[in-house]
């Protein structure tokens, strides 16, 4: 099935209700997952999912939706290092015997669940131009991904991130692996259910420090092997340039403006905007934003694909907007993470404080200086925001709270402070929360309990049963 035919079939499938029966009869009916190794211990580690369940993206062995969190029993006892979600798929890194192993589930129509039924060899043809009828359209249970690599090499995954229809995984050794649909950083635009090494960074003698993904974009923070303290930001996928024109890169591009920073402490990306927090040589620090801010956008039905030439530069001159961190009570080194959504963003500090900032229209070519960030919450360990809602993990006990769609529909820079300050969200777990990932219409979170600390409360209480304020 060629690329354009696959896009057309995807559109018909989602708009006309075509289902798996319309798929080639040669396709297997279900994946055969490999269960993670729990070493025989009682299950005190859990992963939960809830939301829309199409194509099995909740991981329960079916396509049913779940209005309240349900434990993914297949992952009971698994030591989870990382979780992430795309439009129709989910992914996790599971620690098995000291090695991080990739698992994927949900839609595999574009290879995004990472499950291939055929034995592929290194250097095999890209699925974008080949017939991939042997691969499953949906994987309804978490299934171990098979990396295309020499058998003698062990790969230790530590993090996985999902864009809308693609995923990327980072190893402890600093290599990056991608699969799914679109610009995967490997010179081609393709659909590939095989997780394959992005060769750019080893060839440039760079190791990847961290990675983020959203929409079609993948953003990596990398360092030269001969200068580990030097950090560089690389971007690939579809993005809008300073004039608002759509551009594409299938290979990593250096974000040259970020080289102005003497050190980079945090970065993030939405589907259209990139944020970088750093410190200049004079000791001052700032958060710089690149791209165009989109206030209203709809859940995509299929991957972006345009016939256009690759560009050779991305935002080479100046950022679209800048937040000065002078006289705000913290600097860039204090920032643990950055969250971007609609017309606002949030800065999560290492001490648990969450600061918000409003973003006006930054589509103009002249850089915009944004107002100072304002305090929203304290004791925050982690936060994930998307169309489905807000997941917040709190210190010191790891309680996870959820703020549902009816709040997020009207969420913008003008009312985020009021919504989060009142914080009448649902308690998903009271303690032991470790990871959160919120997507377009489904979410995942993980919980790690001591054996004598009691059971999880997530499946006892449907959202709305318990309220809290921080």
Task: Compute the distance between CA of residue 296 and CA of residue 99 in angstroms, rounded to an integer.
Answer: 40
Whole-prediction pTM? 0.85
Expressed as residue numbers, the domain containing 402 is: 385-470
Share of the chain above pLDDT 90, in %: 56
Q: In which band, very low, low, confident or very high, does the pLDDT at 6 lie, cut at 50, 70 and 90?
A: very low
Task: Compute the distance between CA of residue 123 and CA of residue 222 in angstroms, rounded to an integer.
Answer: 25
Determine the pLDDT at residue 36: 61
Last residue of a domain, one of 338, 364, 384: 384
Question: Does the pLDDT at position 407 exceed 70?
Answer: no
Q: In which band, very low, low, confident or very high, does the pLDDT at 296 lie, cut at 50, 70 and 90?
A: low
Rg (CA), the chain: 21
Mean pLDDT of all residues in 300-314: 87
Q: Give yes or no: residues 88 and 108 share one domain.
A: yes
Q: Give yes or no: residues 392 and 376 share one domain.
A: no
Q: Give yes or no: residues 193 and 150 share one domain.
A: yes
Q: Give yes or no: residues 309 and 352 share one domain.
A: yes
CA atoms within 13 A on the CB side of 10: 23
Contact of 51 with 69, CB cutoff 8 Å: no
SS3 391: strand
Q: In which band, very low, low, confident or very high, does the pLDDT at 420 lie, cut at 50, 70 and 90?
A: low
Q: Give yes or no: residues 294 and 427 share one domain.
A: no
Task: Compute the distance between CA of residue 135 and CA of residue 137 in angstroms, rounded to an integer.
Answer: 7
Q: Give yes or no: residues 239 and 353 share one domain.
A: yes
Q: Give yes or no: residues 291 and 427 share one domain.
A: no
Determine the pLDDT at residue 135: 55
Q: Give tens-digit pLDDT for 244-273.
A: 788 899 999 999 999 999 999 999 999 988
Residue 404 vs residue 325, higher pLDDT: 325
Determine the pLDDT at residue 314: 82
Q: In which band, very low, low, confident or very high, does the pLDDT at 9 lie, cut at 50, 70 and 90?
A: very low
Task: Compute the distance between CA of residue 433 and CA of residue 430 in angstroms, rounded to an integer.
Answer: 8
Q: Count of domains in the chain?
A: 2
Determine the pLDDT at residue 411: 67
Q: Give tens-digit pLDDT for 209-227.
A: 999 999 999 999 999 999 9
Q: Give yes or no: residues 275 and 178 share one domain.
A: yes
Q: Give yes or no: residues 86 and 49 share one domain.
A: yes
């Amino acid at each position: 099935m060629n690329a354009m035919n696959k896009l057309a079939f995807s559109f018909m499938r989602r708009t006309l209700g075509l289902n798996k029966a319309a798929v080639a009869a040669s396709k297997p009916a279900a994946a055969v997952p490999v269960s993670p190794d729990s070493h025989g211990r009682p299950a005190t580690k859990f992963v939960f999912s809830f939301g829309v369940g199409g194509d099995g993206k909740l991981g329960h062995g079916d396509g049913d939706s779940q209005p309240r969190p349900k434990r993914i029993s297949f992952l009971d006892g698994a030591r989870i290092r990382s979780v992430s979600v795309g439009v129709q798929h989910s992914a996790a890194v599971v620690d098995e015997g000291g090695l991080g192993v990739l698992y994927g589930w949900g839609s595999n129509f574009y290879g995004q669940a990472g499950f291939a039924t055929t034995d592929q060899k290194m250097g095999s043809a890209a699925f974008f131009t080949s017939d991939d009828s042997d691969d499953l359209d949906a994987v309804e249970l978490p299934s171990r991904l098979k990396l295309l690599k020499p058998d003698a090499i062990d790969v230790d995954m530590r993090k996985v991130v999902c864009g809308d229809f693609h995923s990327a995984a980072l190893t402890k050794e600093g290599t990056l692996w991608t699969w799914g649909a679109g610009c995967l950083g490997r010179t081609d635009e393709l659909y590939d259910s095989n997780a394959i090494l992005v060769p750019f960074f080893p060839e440039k003698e760079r190791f990847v420090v961290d990675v983020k993904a959203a929409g079609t974009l993948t953003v990596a923070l990398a360092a030269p092997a001969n200068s580990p303290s030097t950090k560089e930001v690389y971007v690939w996928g579809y993005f809008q340039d300073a004039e608002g024109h759509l551009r594409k890169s299938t290979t990593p591009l250096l974000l040259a403006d970020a080289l102005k920073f003497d050190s980079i402490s945090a970065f993030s990306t939405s589907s259209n905007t990139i944020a970088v927090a750093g410190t200049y040589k004079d000791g001052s620090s700032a958060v710089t934003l690149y791209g165009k801010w989109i206030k209203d956008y709809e859940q995509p039905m299929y991957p972006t694909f345009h016939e256009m030439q690759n560009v050779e530069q991305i935002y080479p001159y100046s950022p679209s907007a800048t937040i000065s961190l002078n006289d705000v009570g913290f600097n860039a080194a204090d920032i643990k993470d950055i969250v971007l959504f609609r017309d606002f963003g949030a800065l999560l500090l290492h001490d648990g404080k969450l600061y918000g900032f409003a973003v006006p229209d930054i589509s103009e070519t002249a850089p915009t200086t944004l107002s100072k960030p304002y305090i929203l919450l304290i004791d925050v360990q982690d936060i994930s925001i998307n169309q489905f809602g807000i997941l917040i993990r709190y210190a010191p006990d790891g309680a996870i709270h959820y703020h549902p769609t009816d709040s997020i529909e009207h969420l913008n820079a003008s009312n985020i402070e009021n919504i989060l300050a009142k914080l009448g969200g649902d308690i998903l777990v009271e303690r032991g929360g470790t990871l959160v990932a919120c997507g377009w219409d489904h979410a995942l979170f993980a919980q790690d309990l001591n054996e004598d600390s009691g059971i999880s409360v997530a499946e006892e209480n449907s959202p709305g049963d318990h309220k809290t304020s921080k």
